[in-house]
Chain A
């Protein structure tokens, strides 16, 4: 219940939560709670995603979705830390990771909140491209909200009036783009999460193509421009 109490604090009293991160209060407990909750929420959402295909795909996606977000965090956090330090931040790497973990936790909570919607469409529609685009949209909205949280957190954590505050804000904006690019490429590398109905279960697919062209192809098929074979 303590882990969920941390989530409640993030959602209800984010200012207080970010101030505690800024002051380094209870960082380990907070990070542990956020890590456990987000892994569980991502796993559940991943299981729902994979359930359109097979049980093996459901299990695989339940493992891969938490890995996707946590691996993206690990890859991107040093960049945020060093650029922030370069522009006068006094925060440690752990504090930066805690802030990014807050964004990831918010994303995972929002994905969990969309789970009943996704299950509804899973039970009532059969269109693979539609289901894929629906989930890309849900992930994009949830990810964007999570990153907005990070941006708010960075503003609160960066002491007002200190040197380089404006520059650090720009760093966060640019880092958000980097995070989105790394995240989408990571998702592409770890695919499939849903699993094409015409294909057998695969843990990973061969590298090739990219996330953005695949989404355009799916849009094209959904809108009736062409059929993907």
Chain B
């Protein structure tokens, strides 16, 4: 069986998918490995190239596998972007309201900076996303910037509020 036949099979599966090109490429390269393995097994059982391809295509269910892969991976690209935009904002707001009274007035800064609870929460809010959300590296990068800005402004309160 030529590479072209395998590509045709993959193209049929790809036609069922509407994922971002990076995810699609990852999914298809993994699938390609499975298909090559299945084809080798089919040929080892005595089938010729065309029969092996037909058998593998029937076993995998080309259209169905495409739809299932689409269902399994759809939305993750958007989720990454939503998290990248939303997580740093949510964390920054939470940190902000730890430092300010609900009516917006600043708490006593010297007292606040001396409170271990502020630093415990601030550091926890920095390291928790770093450890927990490794997949969302852009979100964590954004959060790092906002964390730094918040702590800088807390340290020099005269600049604002």
Contact = CB atoms under 8 A, between A and B. Distances in A.
Contacts of B161: 126
Interface in A1-31: 1-5, 7-9, 11-13, 16
B90 A1 contact: no
Interface string A85-106: 0000000000000000000000
Contacts of B20: 12
Contacts of A126: 160-161
A51 B103 contact: no
Interface centre among A53, A58, A119 (most CB of B within 10 A): A119
Contacts of A56: 102-103
A115 interface: yes
A112 interface: yes
A54 B75 contact: no
B100 interface: yes
B23 to A, nearest CB: 11
A5 B77 CA distance: 9
A7 B78 contact: yes
A53 B86 contact: no
B69 interface: no
Interface string B47-83: 0000000000000000000000000001111110110
Contact of A1 (B74, B86, B97, B153): B74
Interface residues of A, number: 37
Given A8-B75, A113-B81, A124-B149, A119 B97 contact: no
Contacts of B124: none
A113 B85 contact: yes
Nearest to A16: B18
Contacts of A201: 103-104
B89 A4 contact: no
A4 B86 contact: no
A77 interface: no
B14 to A, nearest CB: 14
A48 interface: yes
Contacts of A13: 18
B100 A55 contact: yes
A192 to B, nearest CB: 13
B146 interface: yes
A200 B78 CA distance: 38
Given A5-B74, A120-B149, A115 B89 contact: yes
B69 to A, nearest CB: 13
Nearest to A113: B85
B89 A44 contact: yes
Contacts of A57: 104
B92 A123 contact: yes
Interface of B: 18, 20, 74-79, 81-82, 84-86, 88-90, 92-93, 96-97, 100, 102-104, 142, 145-146, 149-150, 153, 160-161
Interface of A: 1-5, 7-9, 11-13, 16, 41, 44, 47-48, 51, 53-58, 112-113, 115-116, 118-120, 122-124, 126, 197, 200-201
28 contacts: A2-B74, A3-B75, A4-B75, A4-B76, A4-B78, A5-B75, A7-B78, A8-B18, A8-B77, A8-B78, A9-B74, A13-B18, A16-B18, A54-B100, A54-B102, A54-B103, A55-B100, A56-B103, A112-B86, A115-B85, A116-B142, A119-B92, A119-B93, A119-B146, A120-B145, A120-B146, A123-B150, A197-B104
